[in-house]
Structure 1
Amino acid sequence: MALVPYVENPLPVLSKLHNTSAEFNFANHDLRITQDWKRLGVAAVVWDAAVVLCMYLELERVELKGKVAIELGAGTGLVGIVAALLGAKVTITDREPALDFLSANVKANLPADPLGSASVSELTWGEGLHRYPAGGFDLVFGADIVYLEDTFVPLLQTLEHLCSDATVVLLSSKIRYERDTRFLSMLKQRFTVEEVHYDKQWDIHIYRAHRLPPARRDL
C-alpha cells in the first residue's frame, strides 16, 4: 500500500480511520489492531476490504489449515493475522517503512505463536522477488491493493512469481475508478478471474484468480 499521510477528513464515514485502534473478533479471538493514519497514511488503517476478506475466509470456510500463504500490501496485517489464526502459515508483507508498525500489530495479536504461523517480511512489488520461492504459495491475499496505476505491472509480476498453477489468489477491493477495472482486464490476460463474493453493504468485491498455463497467457 502507498505510504502517504493525509490530513484528517471531516466526513463521518472516514472518521473511523483516524481512531488509534480498531477491534474485531475473528476465529474466536478478540483482535485489537493499532492504526496510525497521521504517520503512515493508508498503510496504517484497516480498510473495509480487509474486514470483508476476513469475513469471507472465516464464513466461507476457505481451507487454510496447513496452507502456505502470503499477504501483499498488508498494512495493519489484519488479513494475515486472521489467516494465521485459521491455520495457515502466513508471510505478511509490505514496504520497508511500514514493517515496524506491521510487526507490532502481528506480535500484539499473535502473542503465543510457537509454530511460527506468521512472519513479517519486506516486499516491494516487482523487486527482489528471488527472495521468495517461485510458485511457493498455496494462497495469495490482497485487500484494497489495486488503486495506483503505476503499481499494476509490478503487482502482476509479483503475482506471477509467487503463484503456481495451483495457487489461489484472493483479491478484495472496492472498485472506485475505471483504472481498477483496467487492472482486472490486465489480470485476466495471465489468470482466470471470477468474482466469488460481493458485500453490498460495504460495496466490496472479492475475486478469485488462478494462473493460466503458459500456452493460454496473452503475450
Structure 2
Amino acid sequence: MRFHMNGGSDDNEIVAATGSEGAAHIRKFVFSSNERSVNERLEIKIPEILQGAYSFYTWPSAPILAHFLWERRQSLVCKRILELGAGTALPGIVAAKCGAQVVLSDSCILPKSLAHIRKSCVANQLQPGVDIDVVGLSWGLLNSVFRLPPLDLIIAADCFYDPTVFEDIIVTIAFLLERNRGAKFIFTYQERSADWSIEALLKKWKLHAASINMDEIGKESGIDLLEFMGGHTIHMLEITLVDQLVQT
C-alpha cells in the first residue's frame, strides 16, 4: 500500500473582525448529535487571518479530524493528547472540550503561531497553562520532546504539505511512539502530488500505517465531508510502531 501526499460548510459561520495582525474573522464550527436519545452540541470559535501564514487558517483536513474526534468523544475523556503543527488548533480544542488532557504544539521558532494558538484557546474558554497546554515543538528537534507528558494519542491535520520536512515529522513520531508505548498517531492529509510518499520513511523508521475509513465521519452531526474538502482529496491514517503491531 502506498501512502501518497498528492496535491465551507453551512455549519461554518464567518464573523468579520479587525486585529493588529491584519484582516481577521472568527470561523464557527458546529458539532452535534442527531441521535434522538442524545441532544449534544458543541460550537468552536476559531480566529483566522486569511492574509497571514498557513498556520493562521483552518485547512480542510482539520474539520475532518475534528469530527472524527467528536464522534469518539466518550473515549477521549482523560486521554492525554498531543496535536502536532496545531495551527488554529481546531481538532485539539475539540478534544479538550470533550474532556481530554491536550497539549497543542507548533514550531519553536514561530512565536506568532504559538500566540495564535493561545488566542484560539481563549476564544473557546480554555485557559492556556490551566485547561490546555501550548508548547513549542519543532519537528526533528527531539530535545523539546523530553518535556512532554505521557501521551495516549498524537494527532495532526495536514502536516505533510512540504516533502522537505517529511522525515523530520516521521522521526518525531517514531520517537514519540517509542516513548509512549501503546500510543497511536492519527492524522489527516490533503493530496498534493502523486510523487510524494511517506512509504519508504515509514519502513525506515519501523512504523506501520493503516488507512481509516472516512465514510461515516460527519454523519452524526449531519455533515457532508465534501463540504469541507472543497474539491480536494483528503485521507486519514493511523500510524503505530511495527513491533507493537506484531505483539498485538
Q: What range is the shorter-chain TM-score in?
A: 0.7 to 0.9
Gaps of 5+ in 1: 1-15
In structure 1, the residue matched to 2:157 is: 143
Counterpart selection for 2:188 from 172, 185, 192:
172
Distance 2:101 2:74 in 1: 14
Residues 115, 34 of structure 1: alpha-carbon distance in 2 compared, 3 angstrom cutoff: closer
CA deviation after TM superposition for structure 1 residue 198, in Å: 3.2
Alpha-carbon distance between aligned partners in 2 of 1:130 and 1:139, rounded to the nearest angstrom: 14
Q: How many Å apart are 1:130 and its aligned residue?
A: 4.4
Task: Trace 1:1-219 onto structure 2 (pairs within 5 A).
Answer: 20-26=25-31, 28-39=41-52, 41-61=53-73, 63-95=75-107, 96-97=110-111, 98-111=113-126, 116-127=130-141, 128-133=143-148, 136-163=150-177, 164-180=180-196, 182-189=197-204, 190-198=206-214, 201=226, 202=229, 203-213=233-243
Q: Structure 1 residue 114: deviation in Å? A: 10
Measured at CA, do residues 38 and 207 of structure 1 come closer, stay the same or move farther in structure 2, by a change above 3 Å? same
Q: Secondary structure at the match of 1:104?
A: helix
Q: Distance in 2 between matches of 1:123 and 1:138?
A: 18
How far the C-alpha of 1:32 sits from its partner, in A, is 1.3
Give the number of the structure with larger relative contact order, counting CA–CA contacts within 8 Å between residues 6 or more apart.
2
Cα distance change on mapping 1:114 and 1:205 into 2, 3 Å = closer
**Cα distance, 1:37 vs structure 2:** 2.6
- Between structure 1 and structure 2, the one with the greater Rg is 2
Q: CA RMSD in A?
A: 2.7
Contact 1:93-1:122 within 8 A present in 2 as well = yes
**Pairwise CA distance, 1:186:** 1.9
| Whole-angstrom distance in 1 between the partners of 2:77 and 2:67 | 16
Normalising by structure 2, what TM-score? 0.70
Paired positions, count? 196
Instruction: Specify every segment of 5 or more residues in structure 2 that has no aligned partner in the other structure, as ranges.
Output: 1-13, 15-22, 33-40, 216-224
SS of the residue corresponding to residue 159 of structure 1 reads: helix
For normalisation by structure 1, the TM-score amounts to 0.79
Note closer, same or farther for the CA distance 1:176–1:133 as it changes in structure 2 (3 Å cut).
Answer: same
Deviations 1:43-92 (A, max 9, x none): 11011100000111122457211111100000001111001011110100
